[in-house]
Amino acid sequence: MSEFLKITVMLGGPSAEREVSLSSGVAVAAALRSRGHEVFELDPRETGWTLPPGTDVVFLALHGTYGEDGTVQAALDQLGALYTGCDAEASRIGFDKVLTKERCVTHGVPTARFAVVESETTPWLRGWNPPVVLKPVCQGSSVGLQFVERVADWPGALEEALRHDSRVLVEEKISGRECTAGILGEETLPIVEVRPKAGIYDYKTKYSTGTTDYLCPAPFDEATTQRVQAAALAAFRAIGGRDYARVDVMVRANGDPVVLEVNTLPGMTETSLLPKAAAAAGINYAALCERMVKLALHRK
């Protein structure tokens, strides 16, 4: 990208993932400045924010509600502003785990069996066997995630999950290898396998240093790699995604991929999973940030 641009990085915001978003945004702003661009940082924590005059493009480094659920995208659309990542509708679908699942089912994308629960007095689901996973429907970054290994654990886990949202996704727990596939433009990046050193990959292990091993490219055989990447791309297209995303996938022992969810605004710290995948493809962090801006500019 030869021209120098006026870029506004939106970071922070009002969600439960504010701190991670601030880290993402600060790293992105520094990277874009290193490439010669004029960069402003805008924290939409309060309503009534305005874009700096002359902004060429907005880089969205927001996570969680408001930033990832289509709200800020709709506001930017009203302003006629160019911004990075998925549009308002794809963001809304991607942030809602149930809508994402329904799109996957409709488009034949492999995903885990699921149900939706809205009351903490709901008894154990008939026809289901443990273990299951409980996820607040509209929260990111493993916020409120609960694993239920025994029926006796159901009431407490359900109560905890419902503290974070009015609806909870109940999902069969897939045993296998956990991985994530980044998408940039129309290409899938090398897969990252996530191996927590102890227990599960939850909010704590996700953001604590040294608790998880990341293998990239993931050590799958070529056929499995292609199936995982194809499933990730199909899920991205099923929600109507554009520009980039990160798709979380479980891989069963027989190599079958099972899509968990689509992250339309994935973490963008230098150690986040999408930048790790890009680095394995030979795209350094600053070049990745600039590529994301370029994808937005193509829509001009």
Regarding whether 253 and 166 lie in a shared domain, the answer is no
Is the residue at 295 inside a domain? no
Is the residue at 67 inside a domain? yes
User: What pLDDT, on a 0 to 100 scale, did the predictor assign at position 142?
Assistant: 75
Name all contacts of 98-101 with Cβ < 8 Å and 24+ positions apart.
98/137, 98/167, 98/169, 99/239, 100/235, 100/238, 100/239, 100/261, 100/262, 101/169
pTM for the model: 0.92
User: What pLDDT, on a 0 to 100 scale, did the predictor assign at position 141?
Assistant: 56
Is the residue at 285 inside a domain? no
Regarding whether 238 and 97 lie in a shared domain, the answer is yes
Is the residue at 57 inside a domain? yes
Regarding whether 186 and 244 lie in a shared domain, the answer is yes
User: What pLDDT, on a 0 to 100 scale, did the predictor assign at position 207?
Assistant: 55
Regarding whether 239 and 145 lie in a shared domain, the answer is no
In terms of residue numbers, what domain contains 54?
Answer: 6-84
Rounded to an integer, the average pLDDT of 207-229 is: 90
**Looking at 242, 261, 272, 285, which residue is catalytic?**
261
Length of the chain as a residue count: 300
Is the residue at 48 inside a domain? yes
Regarding whether 255 and 140 lie in a shared domain, the answer is no
For this structure, is 17 an active site residue?
A: yes
- Please state the φ and ψ torsions of residue 185, each to the nearest 5 degrees: 70, -125
Rounded to an integer, the average pLDDT of 105-122 is: 97
180 pairs with which residues across the strands? 192, 248
Is the residue at 293 inside a domain? no
The number of domains in the chain is: 3
Is the residue at 286 inside a domain? no
Regarding whether 161 and 120 lie in a shared domain, the answer is yes
Regarding whether 185 and 100 lie in a shared domain, the answer is yes
For this structure, is 208 an active site residue?
A: no
User: What pLDDT, on a 0 to 100 scale, did the predictor assign at position 143?
Assistant: 80
User: What pLDDT, on a 0 to 100 scale, did the predictor assign at position 149?
Assistant: 96
Q: CB atoms < 10 A from the CB of 157, how many?
A: 22
User: What pLDDT, on a 0 to 100 scale, did the predictor assign at position 2?
Assistant: 59
User: What pLDDT, on a 0 to 100 scale, did the predictor assign at position 201?
Assistant: 55
For this structure, is 46 an active site residue?
A: no
Regarding whether 213 and 102 lie in a shared domain, the answer is yes
Integer Cα distance of 245 and 229 in angstroms: 12
Integer Cα distance of 217 and 262 in angstroms: 19
Listed residue (12, 60, 56, 61) closest to 38, CA to CA? 56
For this structure, is 261 an active site residue?
A: yes
**Looking at 83, 207, 244, 285, which residue is catalytic?**
207
CATH of the domain at 61: 3.40.50.20
* Residue 196 binned pLDDT confidence (cut-offs 50, 70, 90): confident
> Which of 152, 172, 192 is where one domain is finished?
172
For 64-101, letters b (16+ CB in 10 Å) and e give: bbbbbbbbbbebbeeeebbbbbbbbebbbbbbbbbebb
Q: Pick the more confident residue, 61 or 3.
A: 61
For this structure, is 254 an active site residue?
A: no
* Residue 270 binned pLDDT confidence (cut-offs 50, 70, 90): confident
For this structure, is 141 an active site residue?
A: yes
Percent of the chain with pLDDT over 90: 88
Regarding whether 234 and 187 lie in a shared domain, the answer is yes
For this structure, is 207 an active site residue?
A: yes
Tokens of 46: 């309060």
Is the residue at 278 inside a domain? no
**Looking at 13, 17, 165, 177, which residue is catalytic?**
17
**Looking at 15, 91, 267, 272, which residue is catalytic?**
267
Integer Cα distance of 25 and 216 in angstroms: 24
> Which of 172, 201, 220 is where one domain is finished?
172
What are the distances in angstroms from CA 143 to CA 137, 222, 228? 10, 33, 25
Ranking 57-66, 77-86, 195-204 by mean pLDDT, the lowest is 195-204
Regarding whether 53 and 130 lie in a shared domain, the answer is no
For this structure, is 237 an active site residue?
A: no
Regarding whether 80 and 65 lie in a shared domain, the answer is yes
**Looking at 85, 141, 182, 241, which residue is catalytic?**
141
Average pLDDT, the chain: 94
Given a cut of 80, whether residue 204 has pLDDT beyond it is: no
pLDDT digits (tens, 9 = 90+) for 142-183: 788 999 999 999 999 999 999 999 999 999 999 999 999 999
Regarding whether 243 and 100 lie in a shared domain, the answer is yes
